[in-house]
Amino acid sequence: MSRTTRSVATAFVVLILVAALAFIYASPYIALNRVKRAADARDAQTVNQYVDFPALRASLKEQVGALLTRRVDIQKSGNPLAIIGAMIGAALVGPLVDSYATPDGVAAILNGIPPRGDPGEQPPQAGNGSPATTSNAPASGVTTAQQAPKEPPQTTAGYRSLNTFVVTYQHGAGDARYSAIFHRYGLVSWKLVAVDLNG
C-alpha cells in the first residue's frame, strides 16, 4: 500500500470518526426536535419513543407537590380559605400529573407552558398541532393551563452531564424558569424523563 493510499484511508477513517462523534453530540438536539414535533402533532406513537412516562409522572408528582407545599407555606399567615384551597389542590395532584403525562402535556411542557399546580388544571389542547389558548370550563370545574404565551419562550439547551441534557424555558427576565430534562438511553437515544419547575 502506497503512502498516498494510506493517507487517504487514514483521512477517511478520521472523517468517519468525526462524523460519528458529531452525530453522538447532536443526538439530544435531534431527539428534542423530534419529540417536540411529534407532541405538537399529537403523534402518541412517536412521543412514546422519546418520553419515559413513568419517570416523567414521578417527576411531575414531586415537582407539583413541592409547588403546592411552597404555596401553603407562603399562605400560612394569610387567608385560611387560601390554605384550604391549596390543600384541595394537593388532593388533585394525581389528576393533574396524569393530564400532563400525555402527548398534550408533553407538547405544553416543550412549548413553554408548564403545570402551575392550580386545582383541576389541564394542559391546553389543540386541533392544529400546537398548544393553543382554550377557555376555562367552569361548568366542569376543570381549568386549562395558563394561556399560551404570545411570544415563544427564551430557550437554552445543553448537556448537564454526559448522560443528561437539559432544556430551560423562560418567557421574560422576571418570569420563572423551568427545565425539561432528557436522559441518555444507549449511545444516541434520549428520552424526556423529568421537569424541574424551579428552573
Q: For the sheet with 189-196, list strands across it.
A: 154-161, 164-170, 178-185, 189-196
What is the CA angle 52-54-59, rounded to 5? 95
The Cα–Cα gap between 70 and 64 comes to: 10
Cell numbers at 71, concatenated? 404555596
142 - beta bridge partners? 137
pLDDT per residue as tens digits for the range 145-162: 555 556 778 899 999 999
Q: Give the pLDDT of residue 28.
A: 97
pLDDT tens by residue, 28-39 = 999 999 999 999
| pLDDT value at residue 142 | 47
pLDDT in tens, 65-124: 888 777 666 555 556 666 666 566 566 678 888 889 999 999 999 998 898 877 678 888
Tell me the three cell numbers of residue 73.
Answer: 407555606
Start-to-end C-alpha separation, the chain = 57
Q: What is the mean pLDDT of the chain?
A: 81
CA atoms in the 13 A half-sphere facing the CB of 162: 2
The pLDDT value given to residue 85: 61
Domain boundaries, the chain: 27-196
Closest CA to 117 of 102, 98, 97: 97
Instruction: Write the DSSP string, 59-102.
Output: HHHHHHHHHHHHHHHHHTTS-HHHHHHHHHHHHTHHHHHHHHSS
Q: Is 177 exposed, middle or buried (0-12, 13-18, 19+ CB in 10 A)?
A: middle
